[in-house]
Protein backbone atom coordinates (compact mmCIF):
# COMPACT_ATOMS: atom_id res chain seq x y z
CA UNK A 1 0.00 0.00 0.00
CA UNK A 2 2.71 2.45 0.97
CA UNK A 3 4.54 1.50 -2.24
CA UNK A 4 1.51 2.47 -4.24
CA UNK A 5 1.21 5.76 -2.35
CA UNK A 6 4.85 6.54 -3.13
CA UNK A 7 4.27 5.81 -6.81
CA UNK A 8 1.29 8.19 -6.78
CA UNK A 9 3.44 10.81 -5.03
CA UNK A 10 6.21 10.40 -7.63
CA UNK A 11 3.79 10.73 -10.52
CA UNK A 12 2.06 13.80 -9.07
CA UNK A 13 5.40 15.45 -8.34
CA UNK A 14 6.84 14.75 -11.79
CA UNK A 15 3.72 15.85 -13.63
CA UNK A 16 3.74 19.01 -11.51
CA UNK A 17 7.40 19.64 -12.30
CA UNK A 18 6.90 19.18 -16.03
CA UNK A 19 3.79 21.36 -15.95
CA UNK A 20 5.53 24.19 -14.09
CA UNK A 21 8.52 24.00 -16.44
CA UNK A 22 6.21 24.13 -19.44
CA UNK A 23 4.24 27.11 -18.12
CA UNK A 24 7.51 28.86 -17.30
CA UNK A 25 8.88 28.46 -20.82
CA UNK A 26 5.55 29.27 -22.47
CA UNK A 27 4.78 32.50 -20.62
CA UNK A 28 5.06 35.84 -22.40
CA UNK A 29 5.47 37.80 -19.17
CA UNK A 30 9.00 37.46 -17.86
CA UNK A 31 8.11 38.14 -14.23
CA UNK A 32 5.67 35.29 -14.34
CA UNK A 33 8.29 33.03 -15.92
CA UNK A 34 10.79 33.84 -13.16
CA UNK A 35 8.27 33.17 -10.37
CA UNK A 36 7.37 29.86 -12.01
CA UNK A 37 11.07 29.02 -12.27
CA UNK A 38 11.52 29.59 -8.52
CA UNK A 39 8.53 27.30 -7.90
CA UNK A 40 10.17 24.76 -10.18
CA UNK A 41 13.35 24.89 -8.09
CA UNK A 42 11.44 24.27 -4.86
CA UNK A 43 9.56 21.30 -6.37
CA UNK A 44 12.90 20.00 -7.61
CA UNK A 45 14.25 20.09 -4.04
CA UNK A 46 11.32 17.84 -3.07
CA UNK A 47 12.25 15.43 -5.87
CA UNK A 48 15.85 15.29 -4.62
CA UNK A 49 14.61 14.34 -1.14
CA UNK A 50 12.61 11.54 -2.72
CA UNK A 51 15.77 10.34 -4.50
CA UNK A 52 17.57 10.10 -1.14
CA UNK A 53 19.80 13.10 -1.86
CA UNK A 54 19.27 15.49 1.08
CA UNK A 55 22.53 17.34 0.33
CA UNK A 56 21.36 18.18 -3.17
CA UNK A 57 17.92 19.14 -1.87
CA UNK A 58 19.51 21.62 0.55
CA UNK A 59 21.69 23.06 -2.20
CA UNK A 60 18.82 23.23 -4.68
CA UNK A 61 16.52 25.05 -2.26
CA UNK A 62 19.23 27.52 -1.22
CA UNK A 63 21.07 27.99 -4.54
CA UNK A 64 18.82 26.76 -7.33
CA UNK A 65 15.62 28.38 -6.09
CA UNK A 66 16.84 31.06 -3.68
CA UNK A 67 19.97 32.67 -5.09
CA UNK A 68 19.11 32.09 -8.76
CA UNK A 69 15.65 33.53 -8.11
CA UNK A 70 17.13 36.65 -6.50
CA UNK A 71 19.55 37.05 -9.42
CA UNK A 72 16.74 36.71 -11.97
CA UNK A 73 14.47 39.18 -10.18
CA UNK A 74 17.18 41.82 -9.85
CA UNK A 75 18.02 41.33 -13.54
CA UNK A 76 14.41 42.01 -14.51
CA UNK A 77 14.46 45.21 -12.43
CA UNK A 78 17.72 46.25 -14.11
CA UNK A 79 16.27 45.64 -17.58
CA UNK A 80 13.20 47.69 -16.71
CA UNK A 81 15.24 50.60 -15.37
CA UNK A 82 17.56 50.56 -18.40
CA UNK A 83 14.67 50.78 -20.84
CA UNK A 84 12.87 53.48 -18.82
CA UNK A 85 16.09 55.49 -18.68
CA UNK A 86 16.68 55.14 -22.41
CA UNK A 87 13.20 56.43 -23.16
CA UNK A 88 13.49 59.37 -20.80
CA UNK A 89 17.05 60.15 -21.85
CA UNK A 90 16.72 62.08 -25.09
CA UNK A 91 13.32 63.73 -25.53
CA UNK A 92 14.43 65.86 -28.51
CA UNK A 93 16.52 63.34 -30.32
CA UNK A 94 15.08 60.95 -32.86
CA UNK A 95 13.45 57.95 -31.24
CA UNK A 96 15.52 55.09 -30.02
CA UNK A 97 16.51 52.68 -32.82
CA UNK A 98 14.98 49.89 -30.78
CA UNK A 99 11.60 51.47 -31.41
CA UNK A 100 8.71 52.46 -29.21
CA UNK A 101 7.99 48.94 -28.10
CA UNK A 102 11.40 48.60 -26.47
CA UNK A 103 9.83 48.64 -23.01
CA UNK A 104 7.52 45.90 -24.09
CA UNK A 105 10.43 43.87 -25.38
CA UNK A 106 12.49 44.28 -22.25
CA UNK A 107 10.11 42.40 -19.99
CA UNK A 108 7.81 40.59 -22.40
CA UNK A 109 8.53 38.08 -25.06
CA UNK A 110 5.91 37.81 -27.79
CA UNK A 111 4.75 34.28 -28.63
CA UNK A 112 7.35 32.69 -30.91
CA UNK A 113 6.84 32.70 -34.67
CA UNK A 114 4.99 29.76 -36.13
CA UNK A 115 7.78 28.73 -38.51
CA UNK A 116 10.05 27.51 -35.69
CA UNK A 117 7.38 25.20 -34.28
CA UNK A 118 7.91 22.07 -36.37
CA UNK A 119 11.75 22.06 -36.40
CA UNK A 120 11.96 22.78 -32.69
CA UNK A 121 9.40 20.12 -31.81
CA UNK A 122 11.06 17.53 -34.04
CA UNK A 123 14.51 18.24 -32.64
CA UNK A 124 13.34 18.12 -29.01
CA UNK A 125 11.35 14.93 -29.60
CA UNK A 126 14.29 13.18 -31.27
CA UNK A 127 16.77 14.17 -28.56
CA UNK A 128 14.32 13.35 -25.74
CA UNK A 129 13.33 10.07 -27.37
CA UNK A 130 16.95 9.00 -27.79
CA UNK A 131 17.67 9.82 -24.15
CA UNK A 132 14.64 7.92 -22.86
CA UNK A 133 15.48 4.87 -24.98
CA UNK A 134 19.08 4.89 -23.82
CA UNK A 135 18.02 5.21 -20.17
CA UNK A 136 15.52 2.38 -20.37
CA UNK A 137 18.03 0.01 -21.86
CA UNK A 138 20.83 0.89 -19.53
CA UNK A 139 21.88 -2.11 -17.45
CA UNK A 140 21.68 -1.77 -13.69
CA UNK A 141 25.09 -1.11 -12.23
CA UNK A 142 26.16 -0.89 -8.64
CA UNK A 143 27.94 2.39 -9.24
CA UNK A 144 30.77 3.65 -7.09
CA UNK A 145 28.99 3.34 -3.77
CA UNK A 146 30.93 0.22 -2.59
CA UNK A 147 34.27 1.76 -3.57
CA UNK A 148 33.55 4.94 -1.64
CA UNK A 149 32.29 2.93 1.31
CA UNK A 150 35.48 0.89 1.37
CA UNK A 151 37.71 3.96 1.55
CA UNK A 152 35.72 6.01 4.02
CA UNK A 153 38.21 5.34 6.83
CA UNK A 154 41.02 7.18 5.02
CA UNK A 155 38.84 10.11 3.93
CA UNK A 156 38.97 11.96 7.24
CA UNK A 157 35.19 12.57 7.36
CA UNK A 158 32.11 10.45 8.04
CA UNK A 159 29.78 11.75 5.34
CA UNK A 160 30.31 10.04 1.97
CA UNK A 161 29.39 13.09 -0.14
CA UNK A 162 31.80 15.36 1.71
CA UNK A 163 34.45 12.65 1.35
CA UNK A 164 33.90 12.53 -2.42
CA UNK A 165 33.76 16.31 -2.79
CA UNK A 166 36.79 17.24 -0.74
CA UNK A 167 38.96 14.17 -0.86
CA UNK A 168 38.30 11.54 -3.53
CA UNK A 169 37.24 13.99 -6.24
CA UNK A 170 38.90 17.11 -4.89
CA UNK A 171 39.83 18.01 -8.47
CA UNK A 172 36.18 18.64 -9.37
CA UNK A 173 35.57 20.79 -6.34
CA UNK A 174 38.76 22.77 -6.86
CA UNK A 175 37.90 23.47 -10.49
CA UNK A 176 34.35 24.32 -9.50
CA UNK A 177 35.60 26.98 -7.08
CA UNK A 178 37.78 28.27 -9.91
CA UNK A 179 34.71 28.49 -12.20
CA UNK A 180 32.80 30.43 -9.55
CA UNK A 181 35.70 32.88 -9.33
CA UNK A 182 35.98 33.14 -13.13
CA UNK A 183 32.25 33.86 -13.43
CA UNK A 184 32.68 36.73 -10.99
CA UNK A 185 35.71 38.05 -12.86
CA UNK A 186 33.66 37.89 -16.06
CA UNK A 187 30.82 39.84 -14.48
CA UNK A 188 33.30 42.39 -13.10
CA UNK A 189 34.94 42.79 -16.49
CA UNK A 190 31.62 44.11 -17.85
CA UNK A 191 31.74 47.29 -15.85
CA UNK A 192 31.76 48.96 -12.52
CA UNK A 193 29.24 48.62 -9.75
CA UNK A 194 25.95 50.03 -10.86
CA UNK A 195 23.36 51.40 -8.48
CA UNK A 196 20.81 48.71 -7.70
CA UNK A 197 17.43 49.54 -9.20
CA UNK A 198 15.65 48.80 -5.92
CA UNK A 199 14.28 51.59 -3.76
CA UNK A 200 14.90 51.32 -0.02
CA UNK A 201 11.80 49.85 1.56
CA UNK A 202 10.15 52.46 3.79
CA UNK A 203 9.31 51.66 7.38
CA UNK A 204 10.94 49.64 10.11
CA UNK A 205 9.83 46.19 8.95
CA UNK A 206 12.77 45.26 6.71
CA UNK A 207 15.56 46.47 9.05
CA UNK A 208 13.79 44.91 12.05
CA UNK A 209 13.35 41.58 10.31
CA UNK A 210 16.95 41.65 9.17
CA UNK A 211 18.19 42.24 12.69
CA UNK A 212 16.42 39.02 13.66
CA UNK A 213 17.13 37.03 10.50
CA UNK A 214 20.79 37.67 9.78
CA UNK A 215 22.14 36.27 13.07
CA UNK A 216 19.94 33.19 12.61
CA UNK A 217 21.23 32.80 9.05
CA UNK A 218 24.83 33.07 10.23
CA UNK A 219 24.34 30.47 12.96
CA UNK A 220 22.55 28.16 10.51
CA UNK A 221 25.27 28.60 7.92
CA UNK A 222 28.08 27.83 10.36
CA UNK A 223 26.16 24.84 11.72
CA UNK A 224 25.59 23.43 8.23
CA UNK A 225 29.26 23.92 7.42
CA UNK A 226 30.28 22.05 10.56
CA UNK A 227 27.63 19.35 10.08
CA UNK A 228 29.01 18.60 6.60
CA UNK A 229 31.68 16.30 8.00
CA UNK A 230 29.20 13.77 9.33
CA UNK A 231 25.71 14.61 7.96
CA UNK A 232 24.09 16.33 4.96
CA UNK A 233 25.52 19.83 4.63
CA UNK A 234 28.85 21.36 3.75
CA UNK A 235 30.60 24.31 2.21
CA UNK A 236 28.22 24.96 -0.72
CA UNK A 237 25.02 24.95 1.26
CA UNK A 238 26.59 27.03 4.03
CA UNK A 239 28.02 29.47 1.49
CA UNK A 240 24.60 29.82 -0.13
CA UNK A 241 22.89 30.55 3.20
CA UNK A 242 25.50 33.14 4.18
CA UNK A 243 25.32 34.61 0.68
CA UNK A 244 21.55 34.91 0.99
CA UNK A 245 22.00 36.79 4.27
CA UNK A 246 24.44 39.11 2.48
CA UNK A 247 21.96 39.70 -0.35
CA UNK A 248 19.26 40.62 2.19
CA UNK A 249 21.64 43.10 3.78
CA UNK A 250 22.34 44.61 0.36
CA UNK A 251 18.62 44.91 -0.34
CA UNK A 252 18.02 46.66 2.97
CA UNK A 253 20.12 49.65 1.89
CA UNK A 254 20.42 49.52 -1.90
CA UNK A 255 21.27 53.21 -2.28
CA UNK A 256 24.17 53.53 0.11
CA UNK A 257 25.96 50.23 0.07
CA UNK A 258 28.93 50.15 2.40
CA UNK A 259 31.59 48.95 -0.03
CA UNK A 260 34.07 46.55 1.40
CA UNK A 261 37.66 47.77 1.09
CA UNK A 262 39.12 46.39 -2.10
CA UNK A 263 42.03 44.19 -1.08
CA UNK A 264 40.36 42.24 1.77
CA UNK A 265 37.36 41.72 -0.52
CA UNK A 266 39.54 40.31 -3.27
CA UNK A 267 41.43 38.19 -0.80
CA UNK A 268 38.16 36.75 0.52
CA UNK A 269 36.87 36.05 -2.98
CA UNK A 270 40.01 34.14 -3.95
CA UNK A 271 40.59 32.47 -0.56
CA UNK A 272 38.79 29.23 -1.43
CA UNK A 273 40.68 28.54 -4.66
CA UNK A 274 44.01 29.81 -3.36
CA UNK A 275 44.00 27.79 -0.16
CA UNK A 276 42.76 24.68 -1.94
CA UNK A 277 45.55 24.98 -4.51
CA UNK A 278 48.19 25.69 -1.87
CA UNK A 279 47.21 22.63 0.17
CA UNK A 280 47.02 20.60 -3.04
CA UNK A 281 50.57 21.57 -4.03
CA UNK A 282 51.89 20.81 -0.56
CA UNK A 283 50.27 17.38 -0.95
CA UNK A 284 52.17 16.95 -4.21
CA UNK A 285 55.49 17.88 -2.58
CA UNK A 286 55.22 15.75 0.56
CA UNK A 287 53.90 12.59 -1.00
CA UNK A 288 50.21 11.76 -1.47
CA UNK A 289 49.99 13.58 -4.81
CA UNK A 290 48.33 16.73 -6.14
CA UNK A 291 45.23 17.57 -4.07
CA UNK A 292 45.81 14.55 -1.85
CA UNK A 293 46.15 14.63 1.92
CA UNK A 294 47.94 12.34 4.35
CA UNK A 295 45.10 10.40 6.04
CA UNK A 296 46.05 11.60 9.52
CA UNK A 297 45.76 15.24 8.41
CA UNK A 298 42.71 14.84 6.22
CA UNK A 299 40.09 16.05 8.71
CA UNK A 300 41.71 19.35 9.74
CA UNK A 301 42.72 20.12 6.15
CA UNK A 302 39.20 19.45 4.86
CA UNK A 303 37.74 21.73 7.54
CA UNK A 304 40.20 24.52 6.68
CA UNK A 305 39.42 24.23 2.96
CA UNK A 306 35.69 24.15 3.64
CA UNK A 307 35.81 27.27 5.79
CA UNK A 308 37.72 29.16 3.09
CA UNK A 309 35.42 27.83 0.35
CA UNK A 310 32.31 28.86 2.32
CA UNK A 311 33.67 32.38 2.75
CA UNK A 312 34.56 32.66 -0.94
CA UNK A 313 31.25 31.26 -2.17
CA UNK A 314 29.20 33.54 0.10
CA UNK A 315 31.17 36.64 -0.93
CA UNK A 316 31.05 35.68 -4.61
CA UNK A 317 27.29 35.18 -4.58
CA UNK A 318 26.76 38.62 -3.02
CA UNK A 319 29.22 40.18 -5.49
CA UNK A 320 27.43 38.48 -8.40
CA UNK A 321 24.14 39.87 -7.11
CA UNK A 322 25.56 43.39 -6.97
CA UNK A 323 27.32 42.77 -10.32
CA UNK A 324 30.18 45.02 -11.33
CA UNK A 325 33.45 45.93 -9.71
CA UNK A 326 33.40 48.09 -6.61
CA UNK A 327 33.16 51.73 -7.62
CA UNK A 328 36.35 53.75 -7.59
CA UNK A 329 38.27 50.53 -7.53
CA UNK A 330 40.52 51.21 -10.49
CA UNK A 331 42.19 54.33 -9.21
Partner 1 sequence: MEWLAQQLAPGLIYPTAGAILFALGLYGLIRRHHLVLRILALNIMGSGVFMVLLGIAARGEGPPDPVAQALTLTGIVVAVSATAFALALVVRLTRITGQAVMLPGPPDDHAPVDDISREEHAPSAEYDREHRE
330: contact with partner 1 by CB under 8 A: no
Residues 91-122 as b or e (16 or more Cβ within 10 Å = b): eeeeeeeeeeebbeebeeeeeeeeeeeeeeee
131: contact with partner 1 by CB under 8 A: yes
Q: How far is the CB of 232 from partner 1 (least distance, A)?
A: 10
Nearer to partner 1, 229 or 316 (CB): 316
Under rule CB under 8 A, which residues in 53-92 are in contact with partner 1?
A: 53, 55-56, 59-60, 63-64, 67-68, 71-72, 75-76, 78-79, 82-83, 85-86, 89
Under rule CB under 8 A, which residues in 216-235 are in contact with partner 1?
A: 234
Among 84, 151, 194, 265, binds partner 1 (CB under 8 A): 194
Q: How far is the CB of 271 from partner 1 (least distance, A)?
A: 16
264: contact with partner 1 by CB under 8 A: no
DSSP state letters, 136-197: HTPPP--TTHHHHHHTHHHHSSS-HHHHIIIIITHHHHHHHHHHHHHHHHHHHHT-B----S
Q: How far is the CB of 311 from partner 1 (least distance, A)?
A: 15
Judged by phi (left if over 0) then psi (alpha if -120 to 50, else beta), residue 281 lies in alpha
Contact 180, 312 (CB under 8 A): yes
Under rule CB under 8 A, which residues in 6-25 are in contact with partner 1?
A: 6-7, 10-11, 14, 17-18, 21-22, 24-25
Q: How far is the CB of 139 from partner 1 (least distance, A)?
A: 10
Under rule CB under 8 A, which residues in 151-190 are in contact with partner 1?
A: 160-161, 163-165, 168-169, 172-173, 176, 179-180, 182-184, 186-187, 190
Nearest by Cα to 66 from 29, 47, 33, 39:
39
Q: How far is the CB of 145 from partner 1 (least distance, A)?
A: 5
Under rule CB under 8 A, which residues in 109-128 are in contact with partner 1?
A: 109-110, 112, 116-117, 119-121, 123-125, 127-128
Residue 108's φ and ψ, nearest 5 degrees, are -130, 150
Among 91, 92, 135, 205, binds partner 1 (CB under 8 A): 135
Cα 310 from Cα 123, distance rounded (Å): 41
Judged by phi (left if over 0) then psi (alpha if -120 to 50, else beta), residue 289 lies in left
Under rule CB under 8 A, which residues in 273-312 are in contact with partner 1?
A: none
Contact 269, 319 (CB under 8 A): yes
Amino acid sequence: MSDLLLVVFDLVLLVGLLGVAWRCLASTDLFRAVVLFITFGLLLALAWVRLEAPDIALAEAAIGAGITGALLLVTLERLRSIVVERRRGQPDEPPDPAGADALLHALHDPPPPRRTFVPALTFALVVGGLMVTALWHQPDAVGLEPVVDEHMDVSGVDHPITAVLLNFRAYDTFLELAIVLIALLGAWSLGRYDRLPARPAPGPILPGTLRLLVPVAIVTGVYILWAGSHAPGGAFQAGAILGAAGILLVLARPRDLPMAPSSPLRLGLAAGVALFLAIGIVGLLIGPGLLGYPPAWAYPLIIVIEVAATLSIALTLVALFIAGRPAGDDR
